[in-house]
Structures are given as C-alpha cells and as structure tokens.
A and B are shown apart, each in its own frame.
Chain A
Amino acid sequence: MVKETQEWLELLKTRDPDALRTLYREHAPSLGRYLTGMVRDGGTAEDLVQDAFVRFLEHLETYRGEASPKSYLYRIATNLAINHLESARVRYETHPETLPEPRSGNSPPEDRFARSQEAEGLRAHLAALPPQQRSVVILKTWEECTFREIAAILDIAEGTAKAHYFFALKNLRKRLEADREP
C-alpha cells in the first residue's frame, strides 16, 4: 500500500496524465462538497477545488508523508477556504441560492432530504459556525473522516478536534431550537 502510494506520488511528480486524472476523480467530488459547505458558493468552491489540486502538485516535492495525501489535500483546501472567508468576509448565509443543485431523477431518500427545506436550513446554520468548527463538522459528518484525520487536516490535537465537534453540534442545536421557537 505504502509502495503503491509512493509509486503513484512519483507519477504525479512527473505530471503523468493518468495519475492526474485518478487524483482528480478520486478526490474532486468530496473536495467540492467540502468546499461548498465551507464557502457556501458553488462557483467559488469550483475555483478552490482547482486551486487545491494545483497547490497540492506544486508542493508535492516537499511532501514528506507525515499525513496521508488525502489529509494533505484537505489541509490545503481548508487553508484556501479559510483565507477566502477571511479576505472576502463573505456572509454566505445570505446567499443560499448559490448552493449547487442536488442530483435529479430517481434520488435515494437521503438525497430527497438533502433537497428539503429542513436540510437547507441545517446547512445555513452550519455556515454560520466559526470556520474551524464548521470544518470539523463537515469533515466528520459529510466526509466521514476520523478524528485523527481531522486533527491532521487542521493541524490540531485529536482531543481539540473532538471538543470542537462537540461544541459545534451543541451550538448548532441551540440555533435550531431558537429557530423553532415561535
């Protein structure tokens, strides 16, 4: 596995077209979803996905394998998203219309929920969390990362990642309850 990863990384260093396509197809959908959740803007998320892949390749020579390539890619994406949020000071909760359209056709039940008003409200509240809490929640619930992976992506201790997750959920619950009150 490690050997395979090493070989794949060497191919990426030579910009082998097949290796690049594999990298994109393996990670772009989840990276796009993660970044959409972070910045709440479909167009910006597309640009950031591209930037994340470009930065990943530019820094591949200095990648020492401390984290998995996936964690390394997500760390780059997280930094790009946080930089974007800080520089633009965008208030995404005011632009729910920019969310990408969910799949159409015979959607499984979970997709139907994803398109519902309730899900939209949940995503809007999620977008109102501080960036690091938002990142932890999305990585855990959407990307199904372990706390060890989250800690590696955000460069924080595993215990801190767990605490962020707990307080983020508590915060979200409080906001949802406040919304339900007449």
Chain B
Amino acid sequence: MNHEDALIRALAGGPVSLQALEHIESCANCRAELQALRDLESDLAAAAPVWNPPALHEGRTLSAMSRTRSLPGRRWLALAASLLLLLGLAAAWREVPRQGPASLPYGSAPAYVSESAGGGFWFDPWEEGTGGLLSAASVLAEAIPETPPDDVDLYLDPYANGEWDG
C-alpha cells in the first residue's frame, strides 16, 4: 500500500484496513500529513460562513416556486419528438407524386433506366417527381407494356403459325 492510498482511507473515515493502519503507524511522514490534513479539516469547518439572505428573499423565492409548472420528462419529450417525426414523414409521403411519366412509347425506358452508365439500373431517390423507391418500381412497370404493339417484328408468337401444334 502506498502513502496516498493509506491516507485517503484514513482521512475519509469508515473502515480502514489493517494494512493501511499499519502503514500509517509505521510511517512518520504519513502520520504528520494525516494530522495536518485533519487540522485543516477543522479549520475549514470553522470557516463556514453564515448565509444571511435579504429579508425579501424568502417571499420572492416562495412566489417563484408556487408559479412553477412541472416540465415533461425526457421520455415524454422523446416520444413526442418521434411522433412528430412520423407525422412529418407521413405528410411528406402524401405530397410526393406516386406516378412516373404519363406515357412512354414502347421500347423506350424511363431516363432512370436507359441513361444509366453501362446500362445498369440508376435511380436518384431525391429527384423531383420520382416519389421514392416504390414509385420507381411503378415507373418501371409502366415502361414495359403488357401486350406489344402490332408493328414490332421481333415479337415471336409460338402459336401464330401452328409451329407448336405438334
């Protein structure tokens, strides 16, 4: 045990280990230091000032105390903030257009698809009018017509010429 540990234990009161006691008993420096610190403690206690507030302090403070309102706890504040955030997101979602371009000719994909570098899918969720990821999916669905127009030669109908009739 070092000097400081022993002194802290002895000065702070409470149960002091035998080891600390033995150290202080055997160490003249620690004994002198402990005594000096205890004297200082007494001087400090005696140097405590007396607080004399002005006569009006009590009335003024009691008046301020009676006007106080309880503040909401942090949990309630956090809950209120979360609700506000959800409401804000819901409102923003309602304002965003759900549809992509009104009509697209067959064979042309929306800009989000065809102009991507290297032909991969590109989508900017923050681009005005795209309406987020779900809206992007609906734009893609619209870009691919359910039935092809008549003038497309590449479309193969396996049943057209009876090739599969057997």
Contact = CB atoms under 8 A, between A and B. Distances in A.
A46 interface: yes
Interface residues of B, number: 38
A9 interface: no
Interface stretch (A28-36, A65-73, A79-87): A28-36
A36 B50 CA distance: 10
A6 B47 CA distance: 36
Interface of A: 13, 15, 17, 20-21, 23-25, 28-30, 32-33, 36-37, 45-46, 49-50, 53-54, 57-62, 99-103, 110-111, 113-114, 118-120, 122-123, 126, 137, 140-142, 147, 162-163, 165-166, 169-170, 172-173, 176
A1 to B, nearest CB: 23
Nearest to A111: B50
Nearest to A170: B37
B44 A126 contact: yes
Interface of A is mostly: helix
Interface string B1-26: 00010011001111000000000000
B160 interface: no
A146 to B, nearest CB: 9
A159 to B, nearest CB: 8
11 contacts: A30-B51, A50-B61, A59-B71, A61-B71, A101-B52, A102-B50, A118-B47, A123-B49, A141-B41, A163-B8, A166-B11
